[in-house]
Amino acid sequence: MSGGDQLDFEIRPNPAPVSAADRAALLANPGFGRVFTDHMVTVRYADGKGWYDARVEARAPIPMDPASAVLHYAQEIFEGMKAYRAVDGGVTLFRPEANAARLAASARRMAMPELPAQAFLDSLHRLVEIDREWIPDGEDGSLYLRPFMFASEVFLGVRPANEYLYCVIASPVGAYFSGGVKPVTVWVSPDYTRAAPGGTGAAKCGGNYAASLVAQAEAIEAGCDQVVFLDAVERRFVDELGGMNVFFVYSDNTVVTPPLNGSILPGITRESVLTLAAEAGHRVEERPVSFADWQADAASGRLREVFACGTAAVITPIGEVRFPDGQFAIGGGGAGEVTMALRQQLVDLQRGKVADPHGWVHRLL
């Protein structure tokens, strides 16, 4: 493809797909990110040639030269989204145009070529179509889609690579929380930050996750589930979790999330929650929240609920906060009413159970 936004995908069905019986066994309890479908999408890019060689083929290892640029300088970005089985049996995606735009924005930040939005949407369509039997049935299951792109040029010099590989793989997932939604405990890292102004925090790149892992390990060590990162400059304001945005619900009916300051990832769930909360009659604000205020407002009872949000876990209540000098609970430490109502609203929209006035639901099949 050069110029146009359309890619012609060559479809090469997997000659040895997983049998229906084995697939059913895998789908019974897929967990998260461990089970994969029969196919993958690959599209190549080269400077001067553009995007080419678009394929849907058997999922298989990708042969790679040890001097491939991504292995040395980490030019890599990704997306995360879910294909849902709608109540009418169709298959839908939630706001995939937003994922396409974010992948392009991440590409610009990482000096990578932009995949046209239409090619992105087509790649998802082709993969879900051929692997549709892998979408779990039932309320909680979905097919997690992982589009990603990396520098494949064989070259050790430091500059933007001139060859890339874009891929999509798919993984059936069950309920993120086995046994229902329960509040998580978060760790406020005293030592580590995730992203700094001028850095790559707003890009969905693997490097941000690499930077967050040692803090996540520290959180587990402290008996917590997830890390909350503070801003890198003053270590005062709440940015977000390692892979989820954060919201605060106050007794005066206000719902607050930190503003997109360049080091926060612009979550599509975050953006949707802002809209849904306003429609539900809450006063919605994007403003900085300091850790000191978080603690004081939790103590006074002014802060009623806190939750994290992202595609994988949808909306997760935060019940307790720990840091080196202590800990505090939010509300009674349980799942808050506003949190659970927003969660239900979002899930019902994604499953096609309620009207979709925003046109967020994209029918794939």
Ligand X SMILES: *Cc1c(COP(=O)(O)O)cnc(C)c1O
Q: Whole-angstrom Cα distance, residue 274 to residue 287?
A: 12
189 vs 245, beta carbon nearer ligand X: 245
165 vs 265, beta carbon nearer ligand X: 265
Binding window for ligand X (CB under 6 A); candidates: 16-24, 46-54, 237-245, 249-257: 237-245
CB 28 within 8 Å of CB 308: no
Of 152, 269, 316, 339, the one binding ligand X (CB under 6 A) is 269
CA 90 to chain centre: 23
- Tell me how crowded residue 198 is: count the other CB atoms within 10 A of its CB: 9
Q: Whole-angstrom Cα distance, residue 305 to residue 288?
A: 17
Tell which phi-psi region holds residue 48, choosing left (phi > 0), alpha (psi between -120 and 50) or beta: left
Binding window for ligand X (CB under 6 A); candidates: 164-172, 183-191, 261-269, 279-287: 261-269
The amino acid at 122: D
> Per rule CB under 6 A, is residue 245 in the interface with ligand X?
yes
The amino acid at 195: A
Of 115, 145, 167, 268, the one binding ligand X (CB under 6 A) is 268
Residue 209 CB, shortest distance to ligand X, in Å, is 7
Listed residue (122, 138, 109) closest to 30, CA to CA: 138
- Tell me how crowded residue 220 is: count the other CB atoms within 10 A of its CB: 12
37 vs 350, beta carbon nearer ligand X: 350
Binding window for ligand X (CB under 6 A); candidates: 22-30, 83-91, 161-169, 260-268: 260-268
Per-residue x/- marks for ligand X, 191-220, CB under 6 A? -------------x----------------
* DSSP letter (8 states) at residue 351: T
56 vs 241, beta carbon nearer ligand X: 241
# residues near ligand X by CB under 6 A = 13
Q: What is the DSSP string of 38-93?
A: SEEEEEEEETTTEEEEEEEEE-------TTBTHHHH--EEE--EEEEE-TTS-EEE
204 vs 304, beta carbon nearer ligand X: 204
Of 244, 274, 277, 321, the one binding ligand X (CB under 6 A) is 244
Residue keyed to tokens 């309320």: 139
The strand ranges marked E within the chain are 10-11, 39-46, 50-58, 76-78, 81-85, 91-94, 142-151, 163-173, 184-188, 226-230, 238-241, 245-250, 254-257, 283-286, 303-310, 314-323, 326-329, 361-363
Residue 44 CB, shortest distance to ligand X, in Å, is 25
> Per rule CB under 6 A, is residue 240 in the interface with ligand X?
yes
Per-residue x/- marks for ligand X, 288-327, CB under 6 A? ----------------------xx----------------
Binding window for ligand X (CB under 6 A); candidates: 32-40, 82-90, 240-248, 347-355: 240-248
Binding window for ligand X (CB under 6 A); candidates: 46-54, 115-123, 264-272, 343-351: 264-272
Q: Which residue ranges make up the site for ligand X (CB under 6 A)?
A: 80, 204, 240, 243-245, 265, 267-270, 310-311
